[in-house]
Amino acid sequence: MEEYVSAATEAGRVVFEAKLHPTARAGRPIVLDRFLLIESQLEGWMGYAKVAPGGRSGFPERTGIADAFSAVVRQQCSPGQGAMLVLSLVLLEQGIAKTHPLRFWPSVITKVTSTADRDGRTFLHLHFSDPVTYYSRRPIWGAFRDCSLGAAVGGAVSLAMDGSGAPTTTPQSGGDLPPVHIAEHVREAVGRMPYVVASGEPLGVWLGRLLGRLGVRMEMMGNADGEVKAALRDGPPAGAPVGLSLGEGPATATNAILRGTRLTPRGTDRDAVLDNPSTGETLRVGDGGAVGTVVTSAGTDIEETAFRAGLAREFQNVAMVQTSVVSGQCGIVPGRRLEFDRPISGARAWQAGLTEHLFNDGAYFNTAYLIKDGAAWRPRVSREPNGATLVTGIVNDGSSSAGAAVARDRLGRIPVSLNVDVAAPVGDDAPDDASLSGAPRLMLPIAGPIAGGSHGFLSDHRQGDRCRIAVNGPLDLEVVGFLYDDHRHLDDTVSDGSMGIVVDHEPGQWSGILFRPDDEDNKDATALAQDGVQQGSENPGNDDAADG
C-alpha cells in the first residue's frame, strides 16, 4: 500500500480508500475496488460496491461463485444486514500509509450479485441503501394525532420497520441495522399536525404524498457513529458555502469542471381553491384567473393554503435553471451551498441537489446537479391516486360507555378511532387522552347526502358504532357512512334515542319529521311532531309549527 500511495503522490494524484464495515461485530471490513452511490436531496441514498478477488479485499484470487457467496455470509454482509460504507483519504506519513475517514454512509445490504471474467475470477457486487429507502416498499397502516411532523414520520418509519408505530423521532429497527434520528426545521404551520394517516400505501409513496403536500424535504446524512440523521426542512439551505474554482483542469477538491446547463420554461401563475370542511367555507387564492390547484386538507388557514397552492409552480421555477459540475470535493452533499470563482449562467452561488459519488481503484470524484442558491428544494407535488381508500372506524369519545350517545362538535365532526393496530403514543408527542385508547381518536367531518336546501342528518351516533371512512390522502379523511352489525338492540337502553331527518331547509325556518320510541310517554310527542311537519309544509312561515 505504501508503494502505491508513494507512486501516486509523486504523480500528483490523491489516493482514496473505500471499505464496507459490517455492523455485526463478527464481520470484518471489506476493501472495495469500486462503488457508485447516488445521494438525493429528497430520498437518501442507494448504490452498489464491487469487490475484486485477491489483493487486500480478503477474498481468494480464484474462487467459485458458491465460495464467494459463502465468504459474504462469513463477513456478515448478507442482504438485510447493516454495513457502513467509509470513504477515506490515504496519506503517506513518515513512510507509513495512514487513512483519514471523510464520508460515512450507514446502510443496509439489499442485494448481492456476482460476475466472472474470462480468467475465472469471481467479482461480487453488493447493493445497498439507507435504512429508510430499504423499507420504502413496505405497506403501512397507522394514524398519528396531535403530534409533530417528525414524530408522525418517525412513527410511519417505525411501522415499516415492524416497530411499535408510536409517534417518535427515533424509530428503532432492531438487530444491527443503522438507527435513524429525525430532526425538524420547518415552519410553524406544520410544526404540529392535527392528524396524519397511512392507509396501506408503501412507506416511500406515503412519504412522497405527505411531504410533497407540505412542501417539506427529508435530507439524510450519515455520521461516524453509524447513525442516519434525517432532517425535515422546508427552507433554503444555510451554512457557509464551499468555495470552488471553475476551470479546465482535472477535477479536484478545489477545482470543478462544468458539464452542462439546462433551461426549462418558467411556471405559470394560476389560482388555487381551498376546499376544506373544517373551515365551513371555500376560499380562493389568486387573481380570479383559471384554477390550477384544489387544496383539500384539515386545519389549514388562508396563508398556509396559499403556500401549498404555490408549491407546484415553485418547483417549476426552482428547476428552471440547472447545471452540473464534476469535482473531487467529497464534502458536496445535497443541500450544501457552493460558490464558484466565476459565474455560471449569471450566478456564482449555487446549491447541490442530487449527487453521484464514484470511487474506482483509488480515485474519487463526484457529479453534482445544482440549482441557484436561495431556493428551497421541495418534493414534486404528487397527484393523489384515483379514488379514496375506504377503512373502518369506531365512534369513540374516549370516556363514554358502550351504547352511550356521542355528540358532534360545533363543526359537525365526531370522534373516531381507526381500526388499525397502533401502539399508544408516549412521551411529549402523546395527546392528553392517548392512554384511553391504543389508536388515536380523530375528529372527522361527516359527508352526508345533501341537495340544495333539502338534506338529511343522523344525530344518534353511539359509542362503539362502526363507520366507513374515506382516506383521500394522509391529511384528508371524512366519514362517508355508518354500518349496522346488530351490536346495539332497540330496547329500553336506547329509549331516549332519536333520529331527525330534515326534509326542507330555508333561512330561519325548517320542517321535518322526528321519530321517537312508540310508547305511552311519547305518543303525544310523536303526534305533535308529525302534525308540525304538516303545518310547516302548509305554512312555511309559521315559526311555532317549525319549532314543533
Helices (H), ranges, 215-310: 302-309
> Which of 132-141, 333-342, 440-449, 513-522 is the least confident region?
513-522
> Which of 38-42, 281-285, 412-416, 447-451 is the least confident region?
447-451
pLDDT at residue number 541: 40
Q: 243-261 pLDDT, tens per residue?
A: 999 988 788 899 999 998 8
DSSP annotation string for 328-379: S-TT--TT-EEEEEEEETTEEEEEEEEEEEEEETTEEEEEEEEEETT-----
The answer to whether residues 377 and 318 touch, using CB atoms and an 8 Å cutoff, is yes
Phi, psi angle pair for 543, to nearest 5°:
-65, -35
Measured CA to CA, the distance from residue 166 to residue 146 in angstroms comes to: 12
What are the boundaries of each domain within the chain?
Answer: 2-129, 490-548
Confidence of residue 281 (pLDDT cuts 50, 70, 90): low
> Which of 92-96, 304-308, 371-375 is the least confident region?
92-96
More confident residue, 285 or 141: 141
CA distances, 23 to each of 31, 47, 404 (Å): 15, 18, 54
Confidence of residue 14 (pLDDT cuts 50, 70, 90): confident
> Which of 314-328, 339-353, 450-464, 478-492 is the least confident region?
450-464
Measured CA to CA, the distance from residue 429 to residue 146 in angstroms comes to: 7
Query: Does 546 score more than 60 pLDDT?
Result: no
Can you tell me the mean pLDDT for 25-48?
87
Residue 500: strand pairing partners: 514
Query: Does 438 score more than 70 pLDDT?
Result: no
The answer to whether residues 464 and 403 touch, using CB atoms and an 8 Å cutoff, is yes
pLDDT at residue number 301: 73
Can you tell me the mean pLDDT for 210-222?
91
Query: Does 274 score more than 50 pLDDT?
Result: yes
Tell me, what DSSP letter sits at residue 405?
Answer: B
> Which of 176-190, 401-415, 506-520 is the least confident region?
506-520
Q: 288-345 pLDDT, tens per residue?
A: 778 777 776 556 777 787 787 777 777 777 778 889 999 999 999 888 999 999 999 8
Can you tell me the mean pLDDT for 431-450?
63
Strands 450-451 and 454-455: antiparallel
Confidence of residue 527 (pLDDT cuts 50, 70, 90): very low
Residue 180: strand pairing partners: 228
Angle made by CA atoms 47, 53, 59, in degrees to the nearest 5: 95
Query: Does 515 score more than 60 pLDDT?
Result: no
Phi, psi angle pair for 375, to nearest 5°:
-95, 160
> Which of 195-199, 237-241, 286-290, 435-439 is the least confident region?
435-439
Can you tell me the mean pLDDT for 77-89?
90
Phi, psi angle pair for 258, to nearest 5°:
-75, 125
Phi, psi angle pair for 339, to nearest 5°:
-135, 125
486 φψ region: left (φ > 0), alpha (ψ -120 to 50), beta (else): left
Measured CA to CA, the distance from residue 94 to residue 212 in angstroms comes to: 53
Query: Does 495 score more than 50 pLDDT?
Result: no
Q: How far is CA 339 from the centre of its chain?
A: 31
Grid coordinates standing for 314? 415553485
Confidence of residue 63 (pLDDT cuts 50, 70, 90): low
Q: Which helix (H) or strand (E) holds 22?
A: strand 15-22
Tell me how crowded residue 464 is: count the other CB atoms within 10 A of its CB: 16
Tell me how crowded residue 450 is: count the other CB atoms within 10 A of its CB: 11
Can you tell me the mean pLDDT for 157-167?
91
**CATH code linked to domain 2-129:** 2.40.10
Tell me, what DSSP letter sits at residue 39?
Answer: E
Closest C-alpha to 354, from 332, 372, 373: 332
More confident residue, 505 or 240: 240
Closest C-alpha to 336, from 235, 238, 231: 238
Q: 391-411 pLDDT, tens per residue?
A: 888 999 888 888 888 888 777
More confident residue, 417 or 316: 417
Tell me how crowded residue 322 is: count the other CB atoms within 10 A of its CB: 19
Mean pLDDT of the chain: 77
DSSP annotation string for 156-177: HHHHHTTS---S-SS----TTS
CA distances, 515 to each of 14, 64, 326, 535 (Å): 87, 82, 77, 17
Query: Does 434 score more than 60 pLDDT?
Result: no
Confidence of residue 491 (pLDDT cuts 50, 70, 90): very low
